A = this chain, B = another copy of it.
């Protein structure tokens, strides 16, 4: 089966200035069409380093995808390396040049320079992957049964070019199907689960792989199966997952599909024509952001309030100040009052609230760092849930968000 190597080119990843999110994106897309990503290399903007990476990748894999190093400035040398690597020369692509001139005239509105025009230079053997979003063209070099693909590192330009490359990859290589199914569990650790399902795991056929993905209080079990008959493969994976029920059915919370839990909530609420609002304290806007990041969120997400200051809780959410005095801001009564306040104020069907102490120092409350209350108002009732989330600010916030979404989803699906 076809294997790929991803090579990211550029010092900014190696000095930690940016996180390489492109590779995960590309890997996910390749995986979906049955291409295994063998390795990811991040190398410097350096002639020999890039060349060496290409050589190693060529030995090990069929598809070599580079990102980065295609800008107009001197530190960008990917094209030069490619031309030399294939004993080729750089030639001007007229349609790319035309596009660059158009972008400069219409959008960039700055005088075009020779270095900008030079972005239209590509190796003569390259098939251009036209980049309508930017000045650096993508390139595909067919080298016998191998494919070398170079794309710019700017994520949204890369994504559009990858969309062009994917069908070409599917055309060139005979690809198997890959079926993933991820079982969501809460309540047991990785090793305890492994112990309970040991025999089942040992009996998995060679073409089905199991991975444990522990993350912030939940462990996901991912089955990945590879084969040529998609239907049979899917049935086989489904059967394996069903076999888990008698062993760990009590901790299985569902199957992770293509959608994330927040997207799932969006789907359910939109379909039922129900609405949602949030009242956030310790999550500081990130809970709302989790919903509003999804296109179409405005169909169900009405509003959020970030009541960071205690006074905002009483002034806007009508949390009775005496409750705050009596129980402190980090308490079940306050979480419930916040959820209820948001539900009433914003006239929504469901409201989530968060209040907690995420540290690093104690705030307006005596609650220990890591104590979090999540409130949930539904058309039927208002409840709250208390959690202890450790003592790491970022993790406390992320866990709180995950937990809030999980609680709402459980309620919506009637778990």
Contacts and interface: CB of A to CB of B under 8 A. Distances in A.
A23 B42 contact: yes
Contacts of A97: none
A212 to B, nearest CB: 5
B44 A27 contact: no
A16 B27 contact: yes
Contact of A39 (B14, B214, B346, B360): B14
Interface string A18-43: 11110111111111000011111111
A49 B24 CA distance: 19
Interface centre among A20, A36, A345 (most CB of B within 10 A): A20
Contact of A20 (B19, B72, B298): B19
Contacts of A308: 292, 297-298, 301-304
Contact of A312 (B20, B116, B288, B346): B346
Contact of A19 (B15, B17, B24, B361): B24
A309 interface: yes
A191 interface: yes
Given A73-B191, A306-B292, A15 B41 contact: no
A363 to B, nearest CB: 6
A400 interface: no
Contact of A74 (B156, B194, B280): B194
A75 B212 contact: yes
A302 B12 CA distance: 35
Contacts of A19: 19-21, 23-24
A414 interface: no
Contacts of A304: 284-285, 304-306, 308
A74 B221 CA distance: 13
Contacts of A42: 23, 39-41
Nearest to A27: B16
Interface stretch (A79-87, A105-113, A240-248, A374-382): A105-113
Contacts of A280: 285
Given A39-B49, A108-B189, A305-B304, A18 B24 contact: yes
B13 A27 contact: yes
A96 interface: no
Query: Assembly of this chain: how many copies?
Result: 2
A392 interface: yes
Contacts of A302: 308-309, 312
Nearest to A194: B73
Contacts of A288: 284-285, 288, 306
A115 interface: yes
A158 to B, nearest CB: 12
A268 interface: no
Interface in A351-409: 359-361, 363, 392-395, 397
A46 to B, nearest CB: 10
Contact of A195 (B13, B113, B307): B113
Nearest to A117: B191
A12 B213 contact: yes
A398 to B, nearest CB: 10
Contacts of A392: 156
A192 B114 CA distance: 10
Interface centre among A115, A222, A280, A309 (most CB of B within 10 A): A309
A24 B28 contact: no
The 4 closest A-B pairs by CB, nearest first: A284-B292, A285-B288, A16-B28, A16-B27
29 contacts: A16-B24, A16-B26, A16-B27, A16-B28, A16-B31, A19-B19, A38-B44, A40-B40, A41-B41, A41-B42, A71-B190, A73-B190, A74-B194, A75-B210, A108-B189, A110-B189, A110-B192, A115-B191, A156-B394, A278-B306, A284-B293, A284-B297, A284-B304, A285-B304, A296-B361, A298-B363, A301-B308, A302-B308, A305-B306
